[in-house]
Amino acid sequence: AKMVYYFGQTKTEGKGKAKALLGGKGLNLAEMTSIGLPVPPGFTITTEVCDGYYKNGEKLPAGLMDEIQKAVVTLEEELDKKFGDDDNPLLVSVRSGAAVSMPGMMNTILNLGLNDVSTEGLAKATKNERFAYDAYRRLINMYGDVVKGLAHHDFEVAFDKVKKKYKVTEDTEVPAEGLKELCEAYKAVYKKGTGEDFPQDPVFQLQLAVEAVFGSWNADRAISYRRIESAKGNTEIGNLIGTAVNVQAMVYGNMGDDSGTGVGFTRDPNTGQNKFYGEFLINAQGEDVVAGIRTPSPVSEMGKWDKAAHKELMEIKKTLETHYKEMQDIEFTIEKGKLFMLQTRTGKRNGIAAVKIACDMVKEGLITEKDAVLRVPASDLTHCLLPSFKPTARNAADVLCRGLNASPGAAVGKLAFTAHDARERFELGENVILVRRETSPEDVEGMSAAVGILTSTGGATSHAAVVARGWGKCCVAGASDVEINEKAKTIVVNGRKFTAKDTISLDGTTGEVMAGEVETQEPKLSGDFAKLMVWADKYRTMGIRTNADSPADAKRARAFGAEGIGLCRTEHMFFEADRIIHIRAMILADAEDDRRAALKKLLPFQRKDFEGIFKAMAGCPVTVRLLDPPLHEFLPHEAAAQKEMAAELGVKPAEIKKRSEALHESNPMLGHRGCRLSVTYPEILEMQVQAIVEASINCAKKKIDAQPEIMIPLVGTAAELRILREKVEETIAKTVAAKKFEGKLNILIGTMIEIPRACLTANEVAEYADFFSFGTNDLTQMTFGYSRDDVGGFLPDYIEHKIVPVDPFQSLDQTGVGQLVDMGVAKGRSVKGKLKVGICGEHGGDPASIDFCNRAGLDYVSCSPFRVPIARLAAAQAAL
Ligand code: PEP
Ligand code: MG
């Protein structure tokens, strides 16, 4: 297969090829070239070559260097320069570029092709000695760093020495002579670190650089990033075969004050506003902006410096958006007043910006409503649901300083000074804010663990900002008033000191840093968000319900657009202090009569709960599940608590201990729970059904449209459901008669499908069910045989070794568990054609699982209130 694709005036071979083959960067360089944008020419080595490199025991495939040589010749002819030439050398950049962008993860080498002789040639050709040696020292540094893994620090020490000698502080103030000396010093650092001289053969440099880019694909930080992204449901990133390598003719932003470099987004990635959002640095090369070394200026001020270049950039913004119909993230360089595009890609944005951009682009006629629905990543809607600070609390807040509003949201936590510390404390359940001078790709694990990120240097496109935005995590960057002492684990802000024990609050929307805990509030769901939800509802075909077991949750979910309750776990209602005592009394009772007496005391609580929930969900179905957990969960296990309970119930502590021991099971999740409880203790079922019926009657009397559905958990045989359904029907009839209720109650009776056998025999089970609801938490547990409460011990290893692609408790295992779901639906509907089927496991809120449910023909998904908007959008995306 072809390994190298050229782009330039001579030919553009990659146009219209697959992103998977050329990587995002390579494909877009070809696309930009083909629509006439000013792109320095070059070529792309495919991702297949990277795959081959690893399959080949980390060796470049045969013939690759020949293909590269040919492309170099074309490049030389097109630019009329020669690689490694003594007079006017061709220099190239070498960059990675996978099909999914991985910010800061992969490596870049600039100015490749320079050596002792060609640097002098470059100096002559550009009449700029300072520039030539600046380029050379950068090459030695990056090459040493990326290809040979030398510590950046050693180069920095050498640079500081030179600066000291010339009595300057800024890099740009070092004269040509100093940079010449610096190149010698850098070569010495290189030699000391590697035992070799800095390579003088440009083709050899190129070969090693290509290998280094391939090598970086499996660097720890790259693997970490892919793992974190995969765990969040980014399946695309898990399927990549490798990175492409882009070799491109250099242009220089560091040729003097008429040159510069910048990065930016065609729209604001924080707010979505249709305004170019970017930064540039005069007399600098690309890495200077991203690394946060000097503070760049906003592109809005670029016109003051170079009006023509600014105007051209704004025109390019339009051309790009018209071509891609998407917000773009670009890199550009101005060499002696001439603008070049170095990169474009779809710009990362948070959910708030994604929603606004999608809605605006519909208004602008760039995309359709359907495009808009498809374009916003469903899980990013969480950003729109992010908390902010209460205005009153904000006004009173103790504002310490202000940094850049790099990624919106409100974060409150204690200070953590290293990524490692942040991760550890997160695992202990603490909310931490990671405070760093600037972040680097090595910090991603800690960044992911922190509730918020604070940096003291770097701009809106620094590493911290880009990564945080991608994750929808609150970030304040470049807060220069924050002096960080990593060793002492303190920060000092305008003379005030804070330690790891202190809490601060970050406002990622304004960039403010505040002392102490500032109260947060829930977001508003109007404007563009509401508009997108309307479109989503128009295109989705599945219903969206919620898992809720209190009126408050039901109300919240309804505000988020839930169309009913798919799972009300009644056991949650038993844990409140005034109720647990009665259920405990019931568990302790030896005789049925005593159990009934205790249950009678619980009845009014249950009735009231149900009434509240039916009211909050008036007009919508509410699936109430009968008691599910094993009874031991309601008893205290510690001696002190057992003693307390004994005193309350007026029994001996030994009695409680004995009962608790009697209830002990080796595998409680496979034990006496679910419908098995109702078989042994039908009086529990009777009490719960009575409460549901009485609540429905009370609602009917108040003209509240209650639509209860009674759900029996953990059914594995049709006989269980037959017996219990009879009991439920009997109780309904008895209660209606006792209440002398004349009206009509329409109560459905159905079952959870959460045991593999229920799927296998769904045709039998369906005989007695008005509806099915897949409990995919238990179904996953029992299909894999993984205890859902104990997976923490091995699942991370399983994901790391790719035994499972993602956590199957978060995203439904479509190949395995999915077959059981498909079978359950098909067998159930073979008996009852219109059998209502839903899902109420955690997977009901996961976009990939929702897509599966849509294909499986489910009528609805049910998820936690907070995920309802995500489910609405994901269901629409699944339907389109
Ligand atoms: C399930 O098993 O998927 C379910 C929803 O029930 P629970 O999580 O309460 O066991
Ligand atoms: Mg279950």
What is the whole-number distance in angstroms between the Cα of residue 841 and the centre of ligand 1?
5
Percent of the chain residues topping a pLDDT of 70: 98
What is the reported pLDDT for 568?
96
- Of 663, 745, 662, 747, the C-alpha closest to 712 is 747
What is the reported pLDDT for 105?
56
Residue 128: what residue type?
Answer: N
Backbone angles phi, psi at 595, to 5 degrees: -65, -45
| Cβ-based neighbour number of residue 655 at 10 Å | 13
What is the reported pLDDT for 327?
97
> What is the residue-averaged pLDDT of the chain?
92
C-alpha torsion sign, points 215, 219, 221, 222: positive
Tokens 């020669």 belong to residue: 82
Tell whether the model's pLDDT for residue 316 goes beyond 90.
Answer: yes
| DSSP letter (8 states) at residue 525 | -
pLDDT tens digits, 641-659: 899 999 999 999 999 999 9
Tell me whether domains 386-515 and 532-566+608-626+670-879 share a fold.
no
| DSSP letter (8 states) at residue 671 | S
Cα 349 to Cα 369: distance, rounded to the nearest angstrom:
19
pLDDT tens digits, 110-167: 999 999 999 999 999 888 899 999 999 999 999 999 899 898 889 999 999 999 999 9
Q: Which residue's CA is the nearest one to ligand 1's atom 9?
A: 569
- Of 15, 66, 398, 346, the C-alpha closest to 203 is 66
Cα 192 to Cα 459: distance, rounded to the nearest angstrom:
34
- Which CATH fold would you assign to the domain 386-515? Glucose Oxidase; domain 1 (3.50.30)
Give the architecture-level CATH label for domain 4-250.
2-Layer Sandwich (3.30)
Do 772 and 766 meet the contact criterion of CB atoms below 8 Å apart? Answer: yes
Q: Which residue's CA is the nearest one to ligand 1's atom 8?
A: 777
Do 508 and 406 meet the contact criterion of CB atoms below 8 Å apart? Answer: yes
Tokens 């296998």 belong to residue: 760
Backbone angles phi, psi at 99, to 5 degrees: -70, -25
Residue 568: what residue type?
Answer: C
What is the reported pLDDT for 507?
93
Cα 2 to Cα 168: distance, rounded to the nearest angstrom:
50
- Of 449, 445, 274, the C-alpha closest to 357 is 274
Of the residues 547, 565, 567, which should be mutated to test ligand 1's pocket, given the most ligand atoms within 8 Å of the CB? 567
C-alpha torsion sign, points 430, 431, 435, 436: positive
Q: Which residues pair with 83 in a beta bridge?
A: 90
Residues in CB range of 452: below 8 A, 6 or more apart: 409, 411, 412, 413, 433, 434, 473, 474, 475, 476, 506, 508
What is the reported pLDDT for 466?
73
- For residue 778, the ligand 1 atom closest to its alpha carbon is 2
Of the residues 673, 754, 784, 864, which should be mutated to test ligand 1's pocket, given the most ligand atoms within 8 Å of the CB? 754
Question: Per-residue confidence at 263, pLDDT binned at 50, 70, 90?
Answer: very high
Of the residues 624, 626, 670, 752, which should be mutated to test ligand 1's pocket, given the most ligand atoms within 8 Å of the CB? 752
What is the reported pLDDT for 93?
94
What is the reported pLDDT for 693?
98
What is the reported pLDDT for 675?
98
Tokens read off for 288:
């200077």
Backbone angles phi, psi at 316, to 5 degrees: -65, -35
What is the whole-number distance in angstroms between the Cα of residue 712 and the centre of ligand 2?
10
Percent of the chain residues topping a pLDDT of 90: 76
Tokens 């660097």 belong to residue: 219
Tell whether the model's pLDDT for residue 402 goes beyond 60.
Answer: yes
What is the whole-number distance in angstroms between the Cα of residue 545 and the centre of ligand 1?
15
- Of 814, 823, 822, 864, the C-alpha closest to 841 is 864
Tell whether the model's pLDDT for residue 372 goes beyond 90.
Answer: yes
Q: Is CATH 3.30.70.20 the classification given to domain 251-349?
A: no
DSSP line for 821-858: HHHHHHHHHHHSTT-EEEE-SGGGG-HHHHHHHHHHT-
| Cβ-based neighbour number of residue 647 at 10 Å | 10
- For residue 713, the ligand 1 atom closest to its alpha carbon is 6
What is the whole-number distance in angstroms between the Cα of residue 431 and the centre of ligand 1?
28
What is the reported pLDDT for 243?
94
Do 624 and 689 meet the contact criterion of CB atoms below 8 Å apart? Answer: no
Backbone angles phi, psi at 332, to 5 degrees: -140, 160
C-alpha torsion sign, points 288, 292, 297, 299: positive
Question: Per-residue confidence at 293, pLDDT binned at 50, 70, 90?
Answer: low
Q: Which residues pair with 249 in a beta bridge?
A: 92
Q: Which ligand is nearest to the CA of 570?
A: 1
Q: What is the ipTM of this complex?
A: 0.99
Cα 832 to Cα 487: distance, rounded to the nearest angstrom:
68
Tell whether the model's pLDDT for residue 289 goes beyond 70.
Answer: no
Backbone angles phi, psi at 306, to 5 degrees: -145, 95
- For residue 781, the ligand 1 atom closest to its alpha carbon is 2
What is the whole-number distance in angstroms between the Cα of residue 472 and the centre of ligand 1?
29
Q: Which ligand is nearest to the CA of 568?
A: 1
What is the whole-number distance in angstroms between the Cα of residue 547 and the centre of ligand 1?
10
Do 853 and 861 meet the contact criterion of CB atoms below 8 Å apart? Answer: yes
Tokens read off for 488:
């002492």
Cα 426 to Cα 343: distance, rounded to the nearest angstrom:
37
pLDDT tens digits, 669-714: 999 999 999 999 999 999 999 999 999 999 999 999 999 999 999 9
What is the reported pLDDT for 88?
84
Phi-psi region of 84 (alpha: psi -120 to 50; beta: other; left: phi over 0): left
pLDDT tens digits, 523-567: 878 899 999 999 999 999 999 999 998 998 899 899 999 999 999
What is the whole-number distance in angstroms between the Cα of residue 841 and the centre of ligand 2?
7
Active site residues: 463, 840
Question: Per-residue confidence at 290, pLDDT binned at 50, 70, 90?
Answer: low
| Cβ-based neighbour number of residue 816 at 10 Å | 13
Of the residues 545, 546, 574, 628, which should be mutated to test ligand 1's pocket, given the most ligand atoms within 8 Å of the CB? 628
What is the reported pLDDT for 296?
86
Q: Which ligand is nearest to the CA of 774?
A: 1
What is the whole-number distance in angstroms between the Cα of residue 677 and the centre of ligand 1?
16
What is the whole-number distance in angstroms between the Cα of residue 674 and the centre of ligand 2?
8
- For residue 567, the ligand 1 atom closest to its alpha carbon is 5
Q: HEC profile for 154-189?
A: HHHHHHHHHHHHCCCCCHHHCCHHHHHHHHHHHHHH
- For residue 628, the ligand 1 atom closest to its alpha carbon is 9
What is the whole-number distance in angstroms between the Cα of residue 390 and the centre of ligand 1?
35
What is the reported pLDDT for 516?
96
What is the reported pLDDT for 638?
84
Q: Which ligand is nearest to the CA of 773?
A: 1
| Cβ-based neighbour number of residue 371 at 10 Å | 15
Higher pLDDT, 674 or 572: 674
- Lowest mean pLDDT: which of 6-15, 412-421, 633-642? 633-642
Of the residues 570, 624, 715, 778, which should be mutated to test ligand 1's pocket, given the most ligand atoms within 8 Å of the CB? 778
Q: Which residue's CA is the nearest one to ligand 1's atom 1?
A: 775
- Which CATH fold would you assign to the domain 532-566+608-626+670-879? TIM Barrel (3.20.20)
Cα 448 to Cα 504: distance, rounded to the nearest angstrom:
18
C-alpha torsion sign, points 423, 428, 431, 435: negative
pLDDT tens digits, 806-863: 889 989 999 999 999 999 999 999 999 999 999 999 899 999 999 999 999 999 999 9
Buried/exposed 48-85: b ≥16 CB within 10 Å, e otherwise: bbbbbbeeeeeebbeebeebbeebbebbeebeebbbbb
Tokens read off for 10:
């001579």
Where would I find the H helices in 35-82? 47-55, 64-79
Cα 780 to Cα 772: distance, rounded to the nearest angstrom:
16
- For residue 840, the ligand 1 atom closest to its alpha carbon is 5
- What average pLDDT does this structure show over 250-279? 92
Question: Per-residue confidence at 715, pLDDT binned at 50, 70, 90?
Answer: very high
Q: Which residue's CA is the nearest one to ligand 1's atom 4?
A: 775
Domain boundaries, the chain: 4-250, 251-349, 386-515, 532-566+608-626+670-879
What is the reported pLDDT for 10?
94
DSSP line for 676-717: HHHHH-HHHHHHHHHHHHHHHHHHHHTT---EEEEEE-S--S
Strand 621-625, strand 707-712: pairing: parallel
- Lowest mean pLDDT: which of 183-192, 323-332, 383-392? 383-392
- For residue 569, the ligand 1 atom closest to its alpha carbon is 9
Cβ < 6 A, ligand 1 pocket: 567, 569, 628, 754, 775-778, 840-841
What is the reported pLDDT for 231?
73
